Amino acid sequence: MNEPLLRELVPAVIGVLVRRGADFASAEDAVQEALIRALKLWPDDPPRDPKAWLVAAAWHKFVDAARSEASRRDRELAVQDEPPAGAVPGADDTLRLYFLCAHPSLPPAAAVALTLRAVGGLTTRQIALAYLVPEATMAQRISRAKRRIAGQSLDRPGDLGTVLRVLYLVFNEGYSGDVDLAAEAIRLTRQLFALTREPEVAGLLALMLLHHARRASRTGDDGRLVPLSEQDRSRWDTALIAEGVEILQAALAHDRLGEYQAQAAIAALHADARTTESTDWVQIVEWYDELLPLTGDSPVVRLNRAVAVGEADGPRAGLAALGGVDPAVPRYAAVAAHLHERAGDLARAADLYAEASRAATSVPERDHLTRQAARARHRGR
C-alpha cells in the first residue's frame, strides 16, 4: 500500500468533486471515506489508475449522501454529464485547496488541522495523535472549520502569506504519534513550491530544511533539551543543509526578499559554522536588521536579535538591545538570564532562569531552564 501516493492524490480528488458540484465539506468527507475503502481494498487489488479509482469511489459516496437530501437532488442531476477526473488539472485544485484551508476566517489551529486533512490526506485519528488530543476533539475542530468556509469559493484568490504561516505552524509542532508533522510540513511545502515557484515559498522550504537538519542533535539520549551552543554538530544532516542553502541562494537571486528568506539566511549562517564561536554573528545581526521591517518590528525578532548582538558585541550590548523588548514576550526571561550570566551577574541570571522555567510551555524546556538556574546559583557561590 503506497500511503504517500494516497495522501498526494487527496487534494486533486477533492478538487474534482468540488468542480462537479459538491460543496467542500461534503467532498472532503466523501474523499476520506474513499481513502478508508482504498486502505482496505488496494493491498489485495491495486487499481490501474489510483486517482480515477478514488474519484469514482468518492463521487459515489457523495451521490449516495446527496440522494438522502432532497435539496441536493437538483445539483446532482445538473452535474451528471461532467467530464471524467483526468480532464481536471490536479495542480490547480491542490493550489486552491491550500488557500481555502488557510482561509483568514479560520483560527490557526483549525486552519492547520484542515490543511493536514484536506491537503495532507491525513485521517482525523492521525492528526489527533500528532496533536495529543482526543479524536473526537479533533473531529469537532475540523467540522467547525469546514462549516466556517462552507460558503467560500475555490476560485477566489487566496493569501499566500496565510498559507505559509499555516505550514510553518505545522512544522513547528514537530512530531508525535504515527505522524511526523515536521516531515509532513516539508512535504507539503515542497509541493506548494512546485506549484508556485515563489521565492518566499522557497525561503520557507529552505528554513524548514535547515532547522530539520539539526533535529537529531536537539535532544540527548535521556530526552534532555540540548541548546544550539552544545549540540554535536557532527550529527547535523549535511545533505539537508546543502539542499536548504541551494534553495535559499536561488530564492535570494530573485531579489524579492521576504521574512522566510531572511530567517533561512540566519539559519544557514548557524548551519555553516563548525562551532558557536566561529559563527558569523555580525552578519546574523545584519540579517535580523533586514528581518525586523519585514515582520512589522516583531518583538520576537527583536528578542532574537538581542541574543545575536550579545554574541557579536558582548553581553552588555545584548542587554542594551534587550531594553527595547517588552518583558512579557515569551522567552524574554530566558534570554535575559543568558545575557546576565555572560555579563557575570550570576545571581540575577539564576533568578531569571527560575522565572523562565516557571513560564516554560514544555517539560523538556522547563527542566532545561531549571538546571540552568541551579548551575548559575552554584557558580555564583
> pLDDT at position 241, please?
97
The type of residue at 195 is: L
- Residue 222 main-chain phi, psi, to 5 deg: -95, 10
Per-residue pLDDT of the chain (381 residues; tens, 9 = 90+): 567 777 788 888 888 888 888 888 888 889 888 888 888 888 888 888 999 999 999 998 888 887 765 444 444 444 444 433 333 345 566 777 888 888 888 888 888 888 888 888 888 888 888 777 899 999 999 999 888 887 766 555 467 888 898 899 888 876 555 567 888 889 889 989 998 899 999 999 999 999 999 999 998 888 888 999 899 999 999 999 999 999 999 999 999 999 999 999 999 999 999 888 899 999 999 999 999 999 999 999 999 999 999 999 999 999 999 998 999 998 999 999 999 999 999 999 999 999 999 998 888 899 999 999 999 998 877
Q: Whole-angstrom distance between the N-terminal and C-terminal Cα of the chain?
A: 62
> pLDDT at position 83, please?
38
- Rounded Cα–Cα distance for residues 69 and 65 (Å): 7
Cell numbers that stand for 223 in this block: 530526552
> pLDDT at position 155, please?
54
> pLDDT at position 300, please?
94
Is-contact 58 179, C-beta < 8 A? no
Q: What confidence tens digit (pLDDT) does each residue in 326-375 have?
A: 999 989 999 999 999 999 999 999 999 999 999 988 888 999 999 999 99
> pLDDT at position 170, please?
85
> pLDDT at position 78, please?
45
Is-contact 195 94, C-beta < 8 A? yes
- Residue 2 main-chain phi, psi, to 5 deg: -95, 85
> pLDDT at position 223, please?
83
- Rounded Cα–Cα distance for residues 28 and 74 (Å): 20
DSSP characters over 25-72: HHHHHHHHHHHHHHHHHTTTS--SSHHHHHHHHHHHHHHHHHHT-GGG
> pLDDT at position 148, please?
85
> pLDDT at position 190, please?
93
> pLDDT at position 266, please?
98
- Map residue 149 onto helix, strand or coil: coil
